[in-house]
Structure 1
Amino acid sequence: MVEHHHVEEIAQVLDGHPSGRDSYVDASWRRCVELYGMDPTRSDPAHIVTDAEFRAHREQADWMIGAARSGLQSLFRQVAGQNYVLLLTDAKGVCVDFFGDDLFLDELRRAGLYLGSNWSEELAGTCGVGACIVTGEPVTVHQDDHFGNAHTLLSCTSAPIFDSLGQLAAVLDISLLRSPSPKSSQNLAMSLVTAAARRVEMANLMAASRREWVLRFSSSPEFLDVDPEAAVSLDGSGRVIGATRAATQMLSRGDSLIGRRIDTLLGLSVDDLPDLMRDRPTEERVVALGDGGAVFGHAIAPQAPRRSQTNQGSTSRHARGGVLSALAGSDPTMGRLLAQAERLAPTHVPLLICGESGSGKTKLARAIHMASRRGGFVSVDCAGAQPEDLRQALAAQSGPGTLLLRHIEDLPTDTARVLAGLLDAHPDLRPISTSATEPSDLVSQERLPATLYFRLSGSVLDIPPLRERQDLGWLLERLLRRHCGGEMRLTPSARAELLAREWPGNLRELGNVLDVACALAESTVIDLPDLPDVTETRDKEQDLEAILDACDWNMARAARRLGVNRSTVLRRIRKQALRAPD
């Protein structure tokens, strides 16, 4: 009877009659039927992405997970014992981080409240994450607000997380498997999740602005230094180069702040910032708003002075690059590479990033996009990509943005022809391509049409493999904190063993090894027995056919066994001219 009533209510909304629910629920129900072709009588299970897809989503969201982790841990402590589960999804709705009670893990997995679940509206129907992605606003989708019958017991409250350029980067969701009937029972959850999302945005902006001035705001002097409401980062001339969502709403009613001078937004200039530093009482740090109001301000100076270009060495120049500087320690090759990337980031030059599988090509591309201060970011996996995939990816793109073409060496010929036309149609879209193939081989082996290659490779950035980097120790400590938390440490023998390995899988392999070691360690100390053995066959091409046979020529399974991407397996098959048995 309840199910029948739910279906009837959806039918009434489709006929133009309001349901009395929140307007975003009615709008989502209409999209589910009219746009996605969903059936409200079906009880489809949660959509879980494959292991390979999950790793790709998690890798792309790595920077955001690091910024959010502390905030999620704090939020989960606040709701401990109340049966809430916390999900952090990327901008596409895939859950990349999770906090929940171990006692309910099986039930949470079945409900899709777990890692790898895809809560985008076109797959899950009306839900908290999906509605939040569409509206860009905090929402609560409570019980039979959900479109699909499989989810009508859930209550999901979600808040968007925007990056410092104003683009949606993630969604923070707090959900219950079962909750009281009134939707108002989730008002506290809404307050908690929106506050946590605001703090994540603040942490992300602070992490990316260590070399810049940051101005933080609060309507109350008591919270100014400990929990400010909004913040902007400024370059040396006083132009805004980053902002939290709250700052955008406070200073320009939602219009972008990027590129605007601070003296056109507030009653101060960049020269006044030292007067707002922490050595003055908070109640004296008053900043006038353009509408006649006022807030309290806290200015934070750059953590290191800017150096003139003539005084900077090649290995330290990239320190000014903010997000770029986080990609390497004191490695000369990476220093030169990141200095080059910093100079190229604000230009329109198309870039080709080359390097072995797992060496961090996508991370570098994402960092260049962030440093470029461009708007939209569109990522396409070229392995098997069809022309309609490209058109769909670019359909909503307008204005300056970045098009990331991953595994460009695997772009099908017919799609390559279409790509040139799409680039003509989107002149503001800057292409960044990645490839595990040598640049010269892309043309000589006819992997790409020569005209397209030269169009995409205005400058080539070649990432060194992990075994050649001098900052491996720095990377090891950084990834250890990211994968295992700040409490884990390595014994000298375990550290020496990791530093001595060849790492054919590069950063991806190192991350996987640390995940295993953290799981196996019986204390906060990782020792030699906790380290997984080196897989001798993981990167040996002469064993590829045997591995494919053992995997029944399933490319995804073979890629997992080898510890590489599916596109790498396809490339090796073509290189060795292997054919599947009849």
Structure 2
Amino acid sequence: MVERHHFEEIAQVLDGHASGRDSYVEASWRRCVELYGMDPMRSDPAHIVSDTEFRIHRDQADWMIGAARSSLHSLFRQVAGQNYVLLLTDAKGVCVDFFGDDLFVDDLRTAGLYLGSNWAEDLAGTCGVGACIVTGEPVTVHQGDHFGNAHTGLSCTAAPIYDSLGQLAAVLDISLLRSPAPKSSQNLAMSLVTAAARRVEMANLMAASRREWVLRFSSSPEFLDVDPEAAVSLDGSGRVIGATHAAKRMLTRGKSLIGEPIESLLGVGVDDLPDLMRDRPTEDRVISLSDGGAVFGHAIAPQAPRRAATGKISGEKRTSSGFRATLADSDPGMQRVLTQAERLAPTQVPLLISGESGSGKTKLARAIHMASRRGRFVELHCAGSSADMLRVALSGEAGPGTVLFRRIEEMPEDVARVVAGLLDALPDMRPIATTGLAPAELMARKILPPALYFRMSGAVLDVPPLRERQDLGWLIDRLLRRRRGGEMRLTPSARAELIARDWPGNLRELGNVLDVACALAETTVIDSPDLPAAPKTRAPEQDLEAVLDACNWNMARAARRLGVNRSTILRRIRKDGLRPPD
């Protein structure tokens, strides 16, 4: 009965009726159905990542765990004995650190309040961590606020943790398996978790800024020197190079601070900072704000150079070469490929890069060459090439370099027979080949002579297709910034439509779609009608239940097949009285 009521409440929200719940909860319910294709009648268990995936997320978050551990210890002591559990997740929603009572650990594991659980909204539905990631703000998702029936007993309060460049780095969540019915019962939890997140950001900024001036400030003087509200770090000219999220909110009402001169934000310049150090009374360290208000400041001078701490929360990618930040964000599949590429780049090992058309194979090859610093880069298109063309292209090569064979499966047989000999004559030229086929298929179909295949495939890098990547939103933003001077923006509906597509043409198709949308948009805002239509492979008059069965009752996939919205699928399910198989 409770499940039916929950389903009906969500259905009313989808039909445009108010539920009385917080607006971010209703918005999340709509996303769950219309964007992710979720079914509120299903009681799906918590999503736990594999051991391999967890190790990847944990390794990437090691720096974040270190920055947050002290604040988590302190917060857990504050709530000890009240049955709370603390989760620290990365920006993708995967729990990488955990504090909880050992007496309830089995119940916590079952509920997903444990290491390795993934609370991203598109997997877990409406929840504290997922809503926090989407909104970028502290939220409480209490009992029936949750979308999935499996989680309606939980109460979860989460706060975002931002890096010093203003990007979301983590989420701190405090949850209860069972709690009092009123949502207001979690007001104290909200105060505690937001304060803890603020302290994590402060600790990171201080650790990352030992060689720069740091200006910390508060609206009252009592706790300025021991627990300030906000802080910025400054370069030698007084420009902001790092800030906590509270500083961004206090000084610019949410706009970026990076690069701004401090005197444009506060009534002080870099030469005034020594007067704000701790040897003066707190009450005397008053700084005027641009809006006429005032705060109390505490300046900390640059310290002696120290060995750089590893794993700080910062805007930089943790990599020894620069190419990773241009090719992917935090997609696990691409990160594995790039980690391998980064380690192989300085070697002589021949590389075979496989992947679908338009997935970025050539770009990866060029990035590997740049990271290797091997001199000249020669690019050869195998389709229609001849042995004579190959000899001309490679003639006169001296010293180290890289030769790229694009689409090696299209190399003519007579050319393939002479390539190995040419490469042996040019030992300093490292071969990299790309292919649209799986390496096993190259061998099985005997497209290349075995000797040449093994000569070209010292290591294989498999680039995942766009539809499998978890950083699609990041890729969309990155490509959009390169168009029309970076002025174009997407409406939420346009962004949702792009993310829902299958992208058979991968990055090449995405780039073309954005080019068309930028050309068609009448302003700097791209809306859904500005997007070129995605190809439809199925007609909408198909039998709905048969399509749902074929899609394993994934409503997003079924909607794509039928060419309709997810909300239409849900309404048809209700109208026809359809239910998923047990």
TM range (shorter): 0.5 to 0.7
> Pairwise mapping of residues 73-88 of structure 1 onto structure 2 (< 5 A)?
73-88=73-88
Q: Per-residue deviation at 1:435?
A: 2.8
CA distance in 1, matches of 2:328, 2:256: 16
- Partner SS for 1:439: coil
CA distance in 2, matches of 1:156, 1:576: 45
In structure 2, the CA distance between the partners of 1:28 and 1:378, relative to structure 1 (3 Å rule), is: same
* Partner amino acid, structure 2, of 1:164: S
Q: Distance in 1 between matches of 2:328 and 2:139?
A: 24
Q: CA deviation at 1:439?
A: 3.2
Aligned to 1:485: none
- Name the structure 1 match of 2:48: 48
Q: Counterparts of 1:99-138 in structure 2 under 5 Å? A: 99-138=99-138
Query: Shift of the alpha carbon at 1:455?
Result: 4.2
1:49 counterpart SS class = coil
Superposed counterparts of 1:344-383, under 5 Å:
363-364=318-319, 378-381=329-332
Amino acid at match of 2:9: E
Given residue 271 of structure 1, which amino acid in structure 2 is its aligned partner? D
After TM superposition, give the deviation of residue 253 of structure 1 in Å.
0.7
Following the alignment from structure 2 to structure 1, what is the Cα–Cα distance between the partners of residues 5 and 106? 30
Matched, 1:326 2:309: yes
Partners of 1:365 and 1:19 in 2: CA distance: 51
Query: Structure 2 vs 1, CA of residues 327 and 132 (structure 1 numbering), >3 Å: closer, same or farther?
Result: closer
Aligned to 1:475: none
1:196 aligns with 2:169: no
Say which SS state the counterpart of residue 233 (structure 1) adopts: strand
The answer for the alignment partner of 2:149 in structure 1 is 149
Residue 188 of structure 2 aligns to a residue in which SS?
Answer: helix
Q: Which residue of 2 aligns with 1:454?
A: 366
Q: Which residue in the other structure is 1:521 paired with?
A: none
The 1:576–1:165 alpha-carbon spacing in structure 2 relative to 1, beyond 3 Å, is closer
Quick one: distance in 2 between partners of 1:376 and 1:218?
40
Q: Quick one: distance in 2 between partners of 1:123 and 1:142? A: 18
Q: How does 1:401-480 map to 2 (within 5 A)?
A: 406-408=336-338, 434-441=341-348, 444-447=350-353, 452-460=364-372
Which residues of 2 match residues 224-373 of structure 1 at below 5 A?
Answer: 224-304=224-304, 325-327=308-310, 363-364=318-319
After TM superposition, give the deviation of residue 447 of structure 1 in Å: 4.5
Q: What is the aligned partner in structure 2 of residue 465 from structure 1? A: none
Query: Which SS does the other structure have where 2:280 is aligned?
Result: coil
Q: In the TM superposition, what is the alpha-carbon distance from 1:140 to its structure 2 partner?
A: 0.3
Q: What letter matches 1:407 in structure 2?
A: V
Report the counterpart of residue 89 of structure 1 in structure 2. Answer: 89
Inter-partner Cα distance in structure 2 for 1:21 and 1:156: 15
Report what 2:480 is aligned to: none
Letter in 1 for 2:198: R
Q: Structure 2 CA distance, aligned partners of 1:251 and 1:369?
A: 34
Counterpart contact for 1:145–1:152, Cα < 8 Å: yes
Q: Counterparts of 1:20-31 in structure 2 under 5 Å?
A: 20-31=20-31
Q: What amino acid sits opposite 1:379 in the alignment?
A: S
Partner in structure 1 of residue 424 of structure 2: none
SS at match of 2:116: coil
Q: What does the per-residue CA deviation read over 1:168-202, in whole Å, with 9 as the maximum and x for residues that have no partner?
A: 00000000000000000000000000011001110
Q: Tell me the secondary structure at the aligned position of residue 248 of structure 2.
A: helix
* 1:227 to 1:460, Cα distance in 2 relative to 1, 3 A: farther
> 1:159 aligns to what SS in structure 2?
strand
- The residue that corresponds to 2:67 in the other structure is 67
Say if 1:100 and 1:237 are closer, same or farther in 2 by CA, change over 3 A.
same
Instruction: State how many pairs are aligned.
Output: 371
Shift of 1:36: 0.6
What 5-or-longer segments of structure 2 have no aligned partner? 355-360, 375-453, 461-582
Measured in 2, the distance between the counterparts of 1:155 and 1:246 equals 26
Task: Report if aligned partners of 2:346, 2:371 keep a CA contact under 8 Å in 1.
Answer: no
Residues 576, 269 of structure 1: CA spacing in aligned structure 2 closer, same or farther, 3 A cutoff? closer
CA contact (8 A) 1:212 1:233 kept: yes
Counterparts of 1:251 and 1:451, CA distance in 2: 40
Change in Cα spacing, 1:446 to 1:203, as seen in structure 2 (3 Å) is: same
Equivalents in 1 of 2:187, 2:81: separation in Å? 18
Q: For 1:43, what is the secondary structure of its paired residue?
A: coil
1:139–1:159 CA contact under 8 A, matched in 2: yes
Q: Distance in 2 between matches of 1:55 and 1:89?
A: 13
Contact 1:407/1:436 (<8 A) preserved: no
440 and 369 in structure 1: CA distance in 2 versus 1, 3 angstrom threshold: closer
Q: CA separation in 2, counterparts of 1:40 and 1:450?
A: 43
2-side partners of 1:97 and 1:53: how far apart? 15
- Does residue 212 (structure 1) correspond to residue 212 (structure 2)? The answer is yes
Cα deviation 1:318-349 (Å, max 9, x = unaligned): x5xxxxx2249xxxxxxxxxxxxxxxx99xxx
d(CA) in 1 for partners of 2:362, 2:36: 39
Helix, strand or coil: the match of 1:259?
coil
Asked if 1:187 corresponds to 2:187, the answer is yes
Asked if structure 2 preserves the Cα contact closer than 8 Å seen for 1:409 and 1:447, the reply is no
Cα gap change, 1:64 to 1:369, in 2 (>3 Å): farther
What percentage of aligned pairs have identical amino acids? 74
TM value normalised by structure 2: 0.60
Q: Which amino acid aligns with 1:99?
A: F
AA partner of residue 78 (structure 1): Q
Q: CA 1:33 to 1:454, structure 2 compared with 1: closer, same or farther past 3 Å?
A: closer
Indicate conservation of the 8 Å contact 1:379/1:406, yes or no: no
- Please say if residues 167 and 376 of structure 1, whose CA atoms lie closer than 8 Å, have aligned partners that are also in contact: no
Change in Cα spacing, 1:327 to 1:20, as seen in structure 2 (3 Å) is closer
Amino acid at match of 1:278: R
**AA matched with 1:43:** S
Root-mean-square deviation (CA, aligned residues, Å) is 2.9
- Post-superposition Cα deviations, 1:114-151, rounded to whole Å, max 9, x if no partner, equal 00000000000000000000000000000010000000
The change in CA–CA distance for 1:176 and 1:408 in structure 2 (over 3 A counts) is: closer
The letter of the residue matching 1:439 is P
How far the C-alpha of 1:445 sits from its partner, in A, is 4.1
- Contact kept, 8 Å, 2:160 with 2:172, in 1: the verdict is yes
Counterpart of 1:291 in 2: which secondary structure?
Answer: coil
Whole-angstrom CA distance in 1 between matches of 2:363 and 2:27: 45
Larger radius of gyration: 2
> Do the aligned residues in 1 keep the contact of 2:323 with 2:371 (CA within 8 Å)?
no
Secondary structure of the 1:454 match is: helix
Q: For residues 506-548 of structure 1, what are the alpha-carbon distances to aligned partners after superposition, in whole Å with 9 as ceiling and x for unaligned?
A: xxxxxxxxxxxxxxxxxxxxxxxxxxxxxxxxxxxxxxxxxxx
The unaligned stretches of length 5 or more in structure 1 are: 306-315, 320-324, 329-344, 347-361, 386-404, 411-433, 463-570, 578-582
Task: Give the Cα–Cα distance (whole angstroms) in 2 for the partners of residues 375 and 439 of structure 1.
Answer: 19
CA offset at residue 407 of structure 1?
Answer: 2.5
Preserved CA contact (<8 Å) 1:167 1:375: no
How far 1:441 sits from its partner (Å)? Answer: 3.4
Higher relative contact order, chain-length normalized (CA < 8 Å, sep 6+): 2
Cα shift readout 1:80-110 (whole Å, capped 9, x = no counterpart): 0000000000000000000000000000000
Residues 461 and 193 of structure 1: CA distance in aligned 2, closer, same or farther (over 3 Å)? farther
1:408 shift after superposition: 3.9
Matches within 5 A, 1:2-13: 2-13=2-13
1:222 Cα deviation from its structure 2 partner? 0.8
| Cα distance in 2, alignment partners of residues 376 and 167 from structure 1 | 18
Output the amino acid matched with 1:41: M
In the other structure, the counterpart of 2:558 is: none
- Could you tell me which residue of structure 2 aligns to residue 351 of structure 1? none
Tell me, what secondary structure is at the counterpart of 2:348?
helix
- In the alignment, the residues of structure 2 paired with residue 106 and residue 138 of structure 1 have an alpha-carbon distance, to the nearest angstrom, of 28
What does the per-residue CA deviation read over 1:527-576, in whole Å, with 9 as the maximum and x for residues that have no partner? Answer: xxxxxxxxxxxxxxxxxxxxxxxxxxxxxxxxxxxxxxxxxxxx9xx759
